[in-house]
Amino acid sequence: MLQKLSITALVGLFSSVASLVNADCTYSGGNYYCAQTDAIIYSNVGLSATYQDVTNMDESSCACTQADFTSSGSLAPFNEELSIHFRGPIELLQFGVYYPNGESNALKKRSEKQLIESCNEQGETVVSRHKHQHKREVAVEYVQVTSTVYVDGNGQTVTADSTNTVVGPAVPSAYTKVSTVLSSSAQAVETSESQSSTSSSRTTSSAAAASPSSSSSSSSNTNGDWSRGSYFVPGSTSNCTFMNNQGGTAGSGVWSSCFGNSISFAASDGVSGAASAQALGDVTIKSGNEFMIFSGEECSGNNGDCGYYREGIPAYHGFGGADKIFVFEFSMPSDTSGSAYNQDMPAIWLLNAKIPRTLQYGDASCSCWKTGCGEMDLFEILTAGSDKLISHIHDGQDGGTQDYFDRPTDGTLKAAVIFNSSDKTIHIIEVDESFDATLSDDVVDQWLSKSGSSAALP
């Protein structure tokens, strides 16, 4: 998004750019890449702010109505319900959500000084708020280059009129493969066992899968300090609902000339729509295709416990709560044979669940995204063919680091994302542990104590 910057903001931006240049970083495709890491720690997350919440979508006028909504508290707005989003090429091997049982001791408050010292132990000192060229920020290029189209209820392509503006995903102007320039400290970072695992080892955890039902509210095993409330392995889910943006094409969701395709249940291939909820199969999603995960709990009704959502959609809760842990195991194989938009640019990111329940891609006034209700990019390739996964937060604070995770083109990457409200941090960490029905405080505390790259938000 193009915004007017104050003199102070410009000075801060130039200072950030200068620090990046001096930190042995590489500039490519409009983005800086610095050191490889296996952990990113966001600190000072959360602010009290007002964003524009959608309160109505009028199919007659094609207009959306918004009203002020105040988000507050530690980690806000990421203490609100979140949906999990994936873009190919990607193969998802595991996904889970954990919540603390009662008074978990793992989420300990750590001072800013401790966080900085922890992040500096490996010499990874680069901290930057340089804004990378995000899929939504160059969305206008997408519209100009592509005649935006939607699919009607019969699966036929329908050209959108001038009232519709697609807001991402966008195609960067340059497809330059990033060269690898690492500092000595970054070269010392070892590849995790999960990254070097072979495809034959990926199915070892399938025996631990929960029942195929997607409506179970939580794990029944509460012997550990953290209980797994949702879980997925290919072909089997518990409290996970897979969706995509194929509304009106296959028995769920809706399509209209005003707002295009809504969300819909996803078929087991992840790409097609479906009439009812299905578990994602053992598939590799190709470039340009996206799917998302909600919880298995249906919303109580429009303007009820989920707020307002588009009429006619399968409406489900996201994953709420200030303290939670998302876990992933995934592969992002190279996919250079096609010509899809965002070819060979996989990503995993979080959205405020209100966004896809109204309009993920389209008129900006029909979602709360532009006004700051929250997006967090966990693992995102920014230029086609890159092997560097960047993380970034997009909300009223907006920031990140140009350090990166190594893309798992061969084998898989296992990661945990820990939301710690007690000290306003979010940790994205490569891990080796299994994702059992419960996690101990000891394991979670080890994850929280892991040093890495610092991303201090203002």
Peptide bond just before 89 cis, omega within 30 deg: yes
Residue 13 lies in a domain: no
Residue 388 lies in a domain: yes
Q: pLDDT value at position 414?
A: 98
Peptide bond just before 408 cis, omega within 30 deg: no
Q: pLDDT value at position 28?
A: 82
Over its length of 458 residues, how does the chain's per-residue pLDDT go in tens digits? 334 444 444 444 444 544 454 458 998 878 889 999 999 999 999 999 999 999 999 999 999 999 999 999 999 999 999 999 999 999 999 999 999 996 555 665 544 444 444 444 444 433 344 444 444 433 322 222 222 334 444 444 443 333 333 333 332 222 222 222 222 233 332 333 333 333 333 333 333 333 333 333 333 334 569 999 999 999 999 999 999 999 999 999 999 999 999 999 999 999 999 999 999 999 999 999 999 999 999 999 999 999 999 999 999 999 999 999 999 999 999 998 888 789 999 999 999 999 999 999 999 999 999 999 999 999 999 999 999 999 999 999 999 999 999 999 999 999 999 999 999 999 999 999 999 999 999 999 999 999 999 999 99
Distance CA 269, CA 283 (A): 6
Residue 8 lies in a domain: no
By CB atoms closer than 10 A (0-12, 13-18, 19+), residue 334 is middle
Q: Cα separations (Å) of 246 from 38, 146, 228, 347?
A: 35, 19, 29, 19
Residue 24 lies in a domain: no
Residue 324 lies in a domain: yes
Task: Tell me the three state secondary structure of residue 72.
Answer: coil
Determine contact, residues 438/224, Cβ cutoff 8 Å.
yes
Residue 10 lies in a domain: no
Number of domains the chain contains: 1
Residue 104 lies in a domain: yes
Q: Residue 268: which residues within 8 A CB-CB, separation 6 or more?
A: 235, 274, 278, 279, 280, 281, 283
Distance CA 313, CA 302 (A): 10
Q: pLDDT value at position 30?
A: 82
Q: pLDDT value at position 31?
A: 87
Distance CA 294, CA 83 (A): 5
Domain range for residue 313?
37-244+282-411+424-456
Q: Using the 8-state DSSP alphabet, how is residue 61 labeled?
A: T
Residue 206 lies in a domain: yes
Q: Which two tokens stand for residue 210?
A: 């929960």
Residue type for 34, please?
Answer: C
Q: What is the pTM of this model?
A: 0.77
Determine contact, residues 43/112, Cβ cutoff 8 Å.
yes
Determine contact, residues 383/69, Cβ cutoff 8 Å.
no
H-type alpha helices, 192-334: 193-196
Q: pLDDT value at position 207?
A: 31
